[in-house]
Chain A
């Protein structure tokens, strides 16, 4: 019941938003086509504007992942985390999650296939991936789009929330599964 309701909502969310925007616009006599295209013109500019910011962050993250530092950190953390039923396989996932969305998804698929779909590790990994965002990417894109270089405490706040999210995932999964 809950599941099918959720599926329906996920499927209909986008079409519903588009229908509401267009119908409301028509009722209010907005020249839809002209207004749409004049707004859409900005799309190219914004996308191109964020390239330098994306390059700076994504090259840095790509280098960090290639350097092997993440695996080394994992080795340091694993004795501590094994106390909480957290397998060493999950450590790269935790570190990569705020850095790269596609890499995190890759590691997650790996865990799901290697540990078995019903394993506690897989469930914990699923919750970790599903309940967090790619902090660095979001910061680079959003701040890049408006040309902000002094980000103040935004990164700190994002990363602290990520740490809390990991801790909460471990706690909740230990209680539920």
Chain B
């Protein structure tokens, strides 16, 4: 993250200077900072609502039932996470919300899943393999119906906007599967978090 942060800002300043848009770049610091606080504050209410709902789902044992249902999949994708962990249920709920395009619910539940994954993480500053897998799957943005896109198309006067659903579904599935494949591949070749972490988590299976 250090390098990403550094290069994002340094490249912007250099490119802004070359393009004669340095003033815009400086102004954009304020816009970006304001926007991030707005985003965070707009999350508070909906985050509270879904965290409350998820707490009920957890206490009632619903999350556990869902975890058991999808165990065959998560067992392969998230090897380090014990099958009984609430993280498994949270991950499942998060993808359900994403698939139905419920962004408002997906973010709080996804964060909840990250918190559960963090409990199994040996190095709290560094992302575990399970977290990288979860995020790779998330950034691929699997979605059954792209509701916002269809709304824009209708606004522009597209007569049959639902014809983009099938190609979108096909493309998003390809992206989703490649994300899983890439994450699995990188997991093997990327250096492990730390020696302590790789010893305790893998237990020498590989």
Contacts and interface: CB of A to CB of B under 8 A. Distances in A.
Main secondary structure of the interface of A (DSSP, over half): helix
B125 A56 contact: no
Interface residues of A, number: 100
Interface residues of B, number: 110
B136 A154 contact: yes
Nearest to B54: A39
B178 interface: yes
A85 interface: no
Contacts of B55: 35-36, 38-40
B47 A43 contact: yes
Interface in B179-194: 179, 182-183, 186-187, 190, 193
B73 interface: no
Contact of B125 (A30, A65, A147, A157): A147
Given A67-B11, A109-B156, A149-B125, A164 B175 contact: yes
Interface in B52-72: 52-57, 59-62
B150 to A, nearest CB: 8
B149 A146 contact: no
Nearest to B53: A21
Nearest to B174: A168
Given A43-B108, A63-B12, A36 B135 contact: no
Contacts of A66: 12, 16, 21, 24-25, 27-28
Nearest to B22: A67
B201 interface: no
